[in-house]
């Protein structure tokens, strides 16, 4: 497990932690490398010839072939995990990793300058939005840990909020989004992986513990399902910011996002579960296939041979 779980969470919400299968991390690294390569392809190169299984097709189909490989792998991994019981908590963190990869699908094709480009009108930059996403995920984990730690104590009248001083040790949103785009994306993964490693193991009783959200009384179940929707909410904000910046989405960027989202669905099959050898083999196969496919597409683009009709 490479992610770091904040001591705050372990101290106030002690419990079992589930490691992320190393095969998932290997597939993630390979997929990120493939997305970086494929994201550099220009729309005009989509009609170049690409050889698939000895057949002359085009580069555009190469993107869809990657999508097909991931969707087939998701089916295979899901079937491999049928003997491993799930839970609502595990399903919630799985949904969070799908949302995370939806966001990565956008970030994978951004330039460094896009992070701090000012959309005007007092709107957040993309860096500010990412800082809020990462800080929000950490904050949800800390807040839920607090509510678990006081589960047997009487609840005060009025607004249901955790004491502000409890969060004094949290990094600021500016700190969460500091550094290069790669730094920020790595921090997003680290925080999500770390918090999910503990919260994937919440019991049904723990999911029903009462806490607060924006001052409203809610269960931890509500807070857990707020994780993915919060990321999705601000992924939409990133898209709107790009619109304000005049960054028209290219076909390649749309295809990269589809591929990233498909990988999120694959990763969700194993996320929060104990490692399974058969499932791990699926992820290793994906790592190999993704790297090879991306490399072959780069070669096809470099050759710049128009594809035949097919």
CA angle centred on 288, ends 282 and 290, rounded to 5°: 95
185 in Cβ contact with 29 (< 8 Å): no
77 in Cβ contact with 282 (< 8 Å): yes
The share of the chain scoring above pLDDT 90, in percent, equals 84
Question: Per-residue pLDDT for 270 more than 60?
Answer: yes
- What is the SS3 assignment for 219? strand
Q: Which CATH class is domain 7-303?
A: mainly alpha
Report d(CA 235, CA 248) in Å as an integer: 16
Residue 169 CB: number of other CB atoms within 10 A?
10
| Average of per-residue pLDDT across 263-275 | 87
pTM of the model: 0.94
pLDDT tier for residue 275 given thresholds of 50, 70 and 90:
low
Write down the pLDDT at residue 82: 75
Question: Any bridge partners for residue 306, and if so which?
Answer: 48
Residue ranges of E strands in 44-196: 49-52, 55-58
Segments making up each domain of the chain, as ranges: 7-303
Q: Which of 202, 145, 140 is nearest to 16 (CA)?
A: 202
131 in Cβ contact with 137 (< 8 Å): no
Write down the pLDDT at residue 274: 67
Is the model more confident about 19 or about 120?
120
Category of 101 on φ-ψ map: left (φ > 0), alpha (ψ -120 to 50) or beta: alpha
Could you tell me the two tokens for 164?
Answer: 């502000």
Q: E strand or H helix at 209, and its extent?
A: none
Write down the pLDDT at residue 122: 96
């Amino acid at each position: 497990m490479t992610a770091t779980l904040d001591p705050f969470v372990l101290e106030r919400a002690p419990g079992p932690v589930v490691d992320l299968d190393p095969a998932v991390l290997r597939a993630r690294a390979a997929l990120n490398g493939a997305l970086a390569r494929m994201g550099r392809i220009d729309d005009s190169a989509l009609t170049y010839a690409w050889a698939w299984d000895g057949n002359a097709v085009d580069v555009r189909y190469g993107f869809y072939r990657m999508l097909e490989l991931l969707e087939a792998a998701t089916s295979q991994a899901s079937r491999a995990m049928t003997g491993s019981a799930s839970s609502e908590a595990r399903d919630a963190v799985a949904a969070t990793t799908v949302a995370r990869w939806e966001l990565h699908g956008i970030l994978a094709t951004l330039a460094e300058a896009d992070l701090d480009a000012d959309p005007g009108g007092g709107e957040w930059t993309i860096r500010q939005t990412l800082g809020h996403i990462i800080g929000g995920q950490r904050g949800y984990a800390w807040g839920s840990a607090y509510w678990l730690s006081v589960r047997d104590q009487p609840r005060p009248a009025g607004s249901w909020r955790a004491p502000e001083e409890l969060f004094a040790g949290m990094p600021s949103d500016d700190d969460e989004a500091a550094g290069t785009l790669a730094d920020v994306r790595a921090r997003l993964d680290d925080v999500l992986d770390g918090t999910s490693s503990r919260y994937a193991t919440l019991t049904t009783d723990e999911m029903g513990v009462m806490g607060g959200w924006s001052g409203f009384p809610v269960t931890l179940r509500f807070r857990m399902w707020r994780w993915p929707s919060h990321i999705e909410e601000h992924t939409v904000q990133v898209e709107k910011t790009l619109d304000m910046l005049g960054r028209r989405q290219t076909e390649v960027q749309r295809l990269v996002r589809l591929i990233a989202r498909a990988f999120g669905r694959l990763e969700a099959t194993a996320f929060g579960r104990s490692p399974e050898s058969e499932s791990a083999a699926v992820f290793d196969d994906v790592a190999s296939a993704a790297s090879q496919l991306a490399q072959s597409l780069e070669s096809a683009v470099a050759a710049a041979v128009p594809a035949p009709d097919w």
